[in-house]
Structure 1
């Protein structure tokens, strides 16, 4: 009696096998047709790969679906112009109200592997006990993955990762503030439509230029796609070009940079103290700013002034005096005079051997950006192929400096036009037009690329009626990519989780 049902099941399976085989072959054939219809380098992109996984966060197991694939872009004539690579992580049975976060890095010219394997994804790249060994970095489960509280879609802009245009020469059409924001907004809209996620609260996460991009994309989504985001997280963002690019040649820019140099020295000496840091901040926007804005001090006043700067930063007093207190890039070579080391702009507390000790100025690569963090590229390409099932012969581009050089900021390519780059108006408009919108800005204390005091200055000058209770600044030990430090990554993730949980409901208009 027990044999008969098994026999029937076997017979049924045998009868269905040809149909299932034909269906599978048909699906594969359709995917092959779609791939073969692509032109140029896009022929190297495979069909989307969907895989199932599980992650443990704390005492909770999270079952999730990973999708590594592309979103196609088309021109007005209906012809495909490009494809944007993305990786999505969606918790199973997450419910329609589960937040959905779209993340991207900056550059311009950076792929999302930095945020992906450095902060939010289910895997994180471990750089060893000292946090700087790229040669032996290991991919491990991420106990602080943001998948704990939001679904994730990581996006690589055109020219980065595996995102390409059909014709190589067309890529430059995307290398501008507006075109970039439009293409990312289009990709987000496509993902939402393809996956029926219109009811999910939507967030943007951007690092560095990606923070600037987040403000621009949020505006485009609202204006052109009819998609209103619930909030944004900006990590080490560019907000005001005039306060960052060569700003240390001017009194205010130098004053906004000084606290980061002070924090770096405290960190190098393992003596960081928030009280001492607040004293440096007060000095920076007080005596330091007013002195730089006036004629240079003389005599005893000069010795006292330049001596205080030297003690704060570790830069020898004669170097400080020679530059009249405007420190510029002198910290790179002179923060630890005689040590034979150079400091990174991405973390001024991070010292590395000087490859050109005979030179008076910095000639080498940055020890962080061009050093161990480059391992994110190779690690992600291997992870995507072997764990996510996205197999392509195309080279994964982690960071393309040529894109940055060719970038159109609004007034032309590179150069002075980037000084006019501003996201402040976008932030103001988003806060004013969307009463549910809230913003979290995060910085590392010792970041000299995007000093935290610039963001504080921007926040302090927002109308209180817009910013109160809706815009916050959080600071962490470390530099531009402070999340490479496990304890700081955990602290930031905890703050981000609270940010999502505290999202305000939209208020009715008066």
Structure 2
């Protein structure tokens, strides 16, 4: 399993399917969620660069993950502190820890501006920050995250997302979710550094399992005793994330399909992309989506960016589901534009 191998196998499957069903002239859209958006970008690249020669009409990217540097909260990854900050601000405001009395759109735009124009340069400056500069950055982080000045200072102005999940509501003995920061779970260990599990996941996984099994058995008539694995750690660990041809020298780096998408959209001048973002997605932050689509030469006039009051799987929130359904129809009709949530 690898990005390259996965893209090639799925592209071949699509070629065989549209040939068998005589759908070569039909409109073709790829819909991917999370790591599925990585797959969609790799697929679009293969289809536009001659591997299978299939023209796509559009890509629907739900909770995009094209450049993994922006969605990997890790000590050495300075970039991720910037991309995750506005999502932390959204969760802090939702839970009443920050931004009270400030309209959400204004609060999050201020968080974006601070992350881009002040926080990023301060992180690069590191130990060369003056005491006054450091105090200002600390106070602004406190303002946007709702965390205490002491905690932000002890974190060296660098707050990892898992730590934020545990710290935000520590005074209530709760940890917020990763898939959706609106969820909060009661954990036994109130002094742990990070959550013991994702609150959003354990609230919703059994519903996913029940729905999938019911759909397979009752609707599709599939009969099998094998369990459906909602999230497979074994499969993830077996995946090869090496993003260079086999046999070629490779210095490890984050997976990045941004360039592939840019190439696909430049070669296929009719290809459009729709990026759907959840404000409370603590895995693939919406600010990372904005930065990714601005920095790789992706044609901006063919990209629509929309936002929802929801998390990673924003369709779990019924009002967001209704909005997504309407946006999907508008995208198919070529009428979708950038939109903030109501």
Report the TM-score, using the length of structure 2 for normalisation.
0.87
Which structure: greater helix fraction?
2
How do residues 220-369 of structure 1 correspond to structure 2 at under 5 angstroms? 220-222=46-48, 223-246=50-73, 249-269=76-96, 273-296=104-127, 297=129, 299=131, 301-328=133-160, 329-362=162-195, 364-369=196-201
Structure 2 partner of 1:404: 236
Which runs of 5 or more residues in structure 1 are unaligned? 1-174, 505-510
Deviations 1:324-343 (A, max 9, x none): 21101321211123110001
**How many pairs are equivalent?**
324
Structure 1: 4+ residue segments shifted above 6 A:
none
Give yes or no for contact 1:449–1:480 (8 Å, CA) kept in 2.
yes
Structure 1 partner of 2:309: 477
| Greater C-alpha Rg | 1
Tell me by how many angstroms 1:418 deviates.
7.4
Tell me by how many angstroms 1:381 deviates.
1.2
Structure 2 partner of 1:456: 290
Deviations 1:402-460 (A, max 9, x none): 11111101259xxx987431111111111111011011111111222111111111211
Whole-angstrom CA distance in 1 between matches of 2:8 and 2:133: 53
Tell me by how many angstroms 1:209 deviates.
0.3
Quote the RMSD (CA, aligned, Å). 2.4
Give yes or no for contact 1:314–1:336 (8 Å, CA) kept in 2.
no
Q: 1:191 to 1:418 in 2, by over 3 A?
A: farther
Structure 2 partner of 1:372: 204
How do residues 42-441 of structure 1 correspond to structure 2 at under 5 angstroms? 175-222=1-48, 223-246=50-73, 249-269=76-96, 273-296=104-127, 297=129, 299=131, 301-328=133-160, 329-362=162-195, 364-410=196-242, 419-441=253-275
Whole-angstrom CA distance in 1 between matches of 2:317 and 2:80: 28
Give yes or no for contact 1:232–1:440 (8 Å, CA) kept in 2.
yes
How do residues 482-497 of structure 1 correspond to structure 2 at under 5 angstroms? 482-497=314-329
Whole-angstrom CA distance in 2 between matches of 1:496 and 1:303: 45
Whole-angstrom CA distance in 2 between matches of 1:397 and 1:330: 27
Which runs of 5 or more residues in structure 2 are unaligned? 245-249, 337-342
Report the TM-score, using the length of structure 1 for normalisation.
0.59
Whole-angstrom CA distance in 1 between matches of 2:252 and 2:274: 24
Deviations 1:307-334 (A, max 9, x none): 2212211222211111121101321211
